[in-house]
């Protein structure tokens, strides 16, 4: 750095940004991985799951594929011996419907006459669900009465539960439509705004993208202060901590904008159906990136060693995830950047609402960012020994 540049605050600041950026870019391996994470995540989501998750119409809950492509183990027990329709055995027809699915490789079927055996199997996790066709099934339908079809579900495997329920509901719905057992209200269900392309990516978008941005942004910038070896020497120059801190934030934000750019381009490339303008989408990404970087820098200022910074990161990241998934209190959720980011992406980018409708979430993120910046600066200023 020349003397002229050193004493000119603006030039000094830009030199600092340049230095910070160079430090980050010099670690080419880390940068490659940084930019590779969103690409690999989006590619897996776009290519390794079925294209069509939900149809525009149809039965079931319509969410089967969102949570998996596993083959369910289905049990059936047929208690119906009643007569009602001439030349037909309705319960056998329903069983045949499941057998058809088994032949197509969509499920594995166990036809039993022993309910306690099925109960035992479901308790041991050897069966995902079983259907009980009740007695008088055919007779009640023949006299225009509705029947209740109990479906026993294993709730312990919570990840696959929804897709297995969807599968069974889908088969039953198909059976109802084919036989015109549609009840009093003949429903025509129409699903609006179903994306034509990459439905899994679309479904995962509001959850995955904030996770990617916060994960990568926080992790990279959580080393900004703690791992900066030359900063002790730099304090001896006219450079002050305020400038150093601002330069770190700008440089890290710059790098993370690259990650944001990859996400942005991937969305276009993967034909993500967004309803906002691309400008609004970019603004949302920028807000999230800035918050992630500032959280990381605050961690870096607080941590006493590089390893401690990583530990703080994992703590903050897992806490964010856990609260977002499982805690429903609106006041607590408002404090969680991942949740705010997820809401803005869903409401603005996917639903096409104006940014104004997410004013609360944007304000939460902005206030958090400012508070984090001030906090990080105060901690950084108080630090005496930096190495």
Partner 1 sequence: MAEIFEDAKTRFLRISAMVIKEFKSLLQDKSTILILFLVPLVIIPVLATSNISTDRLIPTIWIIDYDNSEQSEQFITTMQNSSGVEGLIELSKIVYASGELAPIEPPFLEKEAFGIVSEELAQKTIPTKYLDAYIILQEGFQESLATNGTAELVIYFDAIDFILMVTSEMTVLVSLTDIQLQNMLLERDIYFYPELRPDQTDMGILALTSSLIVPLLGLFTMLLISSQSIVGDIPLKRMLNTSLRRGEVVTGKVISYSTLALFQVLTTLLLIKLFGVMINCLWIELFFVVLVNSIVGVCMGIFISTITRTKLQASQLFLMVFFIMFIFQYFTRSFLVFIPLEQTKIAYEALANRGMSLLDPIVLNALFKLALNGIFYYVFSLIYIKYIKKRFV
385 forms part of the interface with partner 1 (CB under 8 A): no
Question: Residue 28: which residues within 8 A CB-CB, separation 6 or more?
Answer: none
DSSP string of 235-274, one letter each residue: TTSS--HHHHHHHHHHHHHHHHHHHHHHHHHHHHHTT---
3-state secondary structure of 103: helix
- Which of 96, 268, 307, 374 binds partner 1 (CB under 8 A)? It is 307
- Which of 312, 373, 377, 380 binds partner 1 (CB under 8 A)? It is 312
181 forms part of the interface with partner 1 (CB under 8 A): yes
318 forms part of the interface with partner 1 (CB under 8 A): yes
Contact 97, 171 (CB under 8 A): yes
Judged by CB, which is closer to partner 1: 12, or 203?
A: 203
- Angstrom CA distances, 354 to 213, 290, 345, stand at 22, 20, 11
**Rounded Cα distance, 131 and 162, in Å:** 16
Stretch that binds partner 1, among 105-113, 233-241, 250-258, 319-327 (CB under 8 A): 319-327
DSSP string of 45-56, one letter each residue: HHHSS-S-SS-S
Q: Scanning residues 207 to 236, which ones bind partner 1 (CB under 8 A)?
A: 208, 211-212, 215-216, 219-220, 223, 227
2 forms part of the interface with partner 1 (CB under 8 A): no
Q: Scanning residues 241 to 300, which ones bind partner 1 (CB under 8 A)?
A: 275
- Angstrom CA distances, 24 to 27, 100, 112, stand at 6, 57, 63
308 forms part of the interface with partner 1 (CB under 8 A): yes
Judged by CB, which is closer to partner 1: 249, or 348?
A: 348
Contact 45, 276 (CB under 8 A): no
Question: Residue 378 Cβ, how far from partner 1 at the closest point, in Å?
Answer: 19
Q: Scanning residues 23 to 82, which ones bind partner 1 (CB under 8 A)?
A: 27, 29-30, 33-34, 36-37, 40-41, 44-45, 48-49, 53-54, 61-63, 66-70
Judged by CB, which is closer to partner 1: 307, or 374?
A: 307
Question: Residue 7 Cβ, how far from partner 1 at the closest point, in Å?
Answer: 32
189 forms part of the interface with partner 1 (CB under 8 A): yes
3-state secondary structure of 24: helix
Q: Tell me, by CB under 8 A, how many residues bind partner 1.
A: 113
Stretch that binds partner 1, among 13-21, 107-115, 162-170, 263-271 (CB under 8 A): 162-170
Judged by CB, which is closer to partner 1: 237, or 354?
A: 354
Compute the Cα dihedral for 288, 290, 296, 301 and give only its sign.
negative
- Angstrom CA distances, 357 to 343, 346, 363, stand at 11, 12, 11
Q: What angle do CA 386, 30, 260 make, to 5 degrees?
A: 100
Contact 27, 141 (CB under 8 A): no
- Angstrom CA distances, 295 to 28, 276, 292, 317, 363, stand at 23, 27, 5, 10, 16
Judged by CB, which is closer to partner 1: 227, or 240?
A: 227
- Which of 3, 4, 113, 185 binds partner 1 (CB under 8 A)? It is 185
184 forms part of the interface with partner 1 (CB under 8 A): yes
Q: Scanning residues 190 to 209, which ones bind partner 1 (CB under 8 A)?
A: 190-194, 200, 203-204, 206, 208
Question: Residue 223 Cβ, how far from partner 1 at the closest point, in Å?
Answer: 6
Q: Scanning residues 129 to 158, which ones bind partner 1 (CB under 8 A)?
A: 141, 144-158
330 forms part of the interface with partner 1 (CB under 8 A): yes
119 forms part of the interface with partner 1 (CB under 8 A): yes
Q: What angle do CA 21, 315, 304 make, to 5 degrees?
A: 60
């Amino acid at each position: 750095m020349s003397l002229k540049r050193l004493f000119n605050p603006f030039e000094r600041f830009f030199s600092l940004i340049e230095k910070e950026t160079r430090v980050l870019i010099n670690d080419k391996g880390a940068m490659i991985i940084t930019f590779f994470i969103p690409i690999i995540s989006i590619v897996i989501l776009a290519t390794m799951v079925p294209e069509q998750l939900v149809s525009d119409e149809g039965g079931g809950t319509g969410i089967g594929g969102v949570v998996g492509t596993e083959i369910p183990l289905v049990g059936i027990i047929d208690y119906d011996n009643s007569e009602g329709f001439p030349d037909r055995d309705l319960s056998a027809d329903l069983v045949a419907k499941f057998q058809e699915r088994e032949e197509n490789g969509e499920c594995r079927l166990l036809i039993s006459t022993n309910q306690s055996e099925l109960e035992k199997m479901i308790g041991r996790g050897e069966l995902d669900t079983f259907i009980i066709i009740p007695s008088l099934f055919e007779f009640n339908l023949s006299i225009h009465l509705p029947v209740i079809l109990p479906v026993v579900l294993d709730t312990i495997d919570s990840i696959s539960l929804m897709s297995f329920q969807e599968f069974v509901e889908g088969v039953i719905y198909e059976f109802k439509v084919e036989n015109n057992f549609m009840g009093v209200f003949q429903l025509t269900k129409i699903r609006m705004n179903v994306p034509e392309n990459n439905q899994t990516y679309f479904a995962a978008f509001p959850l995955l993208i904030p996770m990617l941005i916060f994960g990568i942004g926080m992790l990279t910038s959580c080393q900004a202060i703690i791992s900066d070896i030359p900063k002790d020497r730099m304090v001896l120059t006219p450079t002050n901590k305020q400038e150093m801190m601002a330069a770190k934030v700008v440089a890290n934000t710059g790098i993370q904008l690259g990650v944001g750019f990859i996400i942005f381009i991937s969305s276009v490339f993967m034909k993500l159906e967004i309803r906002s303008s691309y400008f609004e989408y970019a603004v949302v990404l920028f807000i999230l990136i800035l918050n992630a970087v500032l959280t990381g820098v605050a961690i870096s200022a607080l941590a006493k060693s590089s390893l401690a910074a990583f530990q703080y990161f994992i703590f903050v990241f897992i806490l964010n995830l856990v609260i977002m998934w499982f805690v429903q209190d609106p006041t607590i959720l408002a404090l969680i950047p991942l949740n705010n980011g997820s809401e803005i992406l869903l409401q603005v980018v996917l639903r096409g609402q104006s940014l104004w409708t997410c004013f609360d979430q944007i304000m939460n993120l902005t206030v958090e960012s400012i508070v984090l910046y001030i906090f990080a600066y105060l901690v950084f200023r108080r630090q005496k020994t930096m190495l």
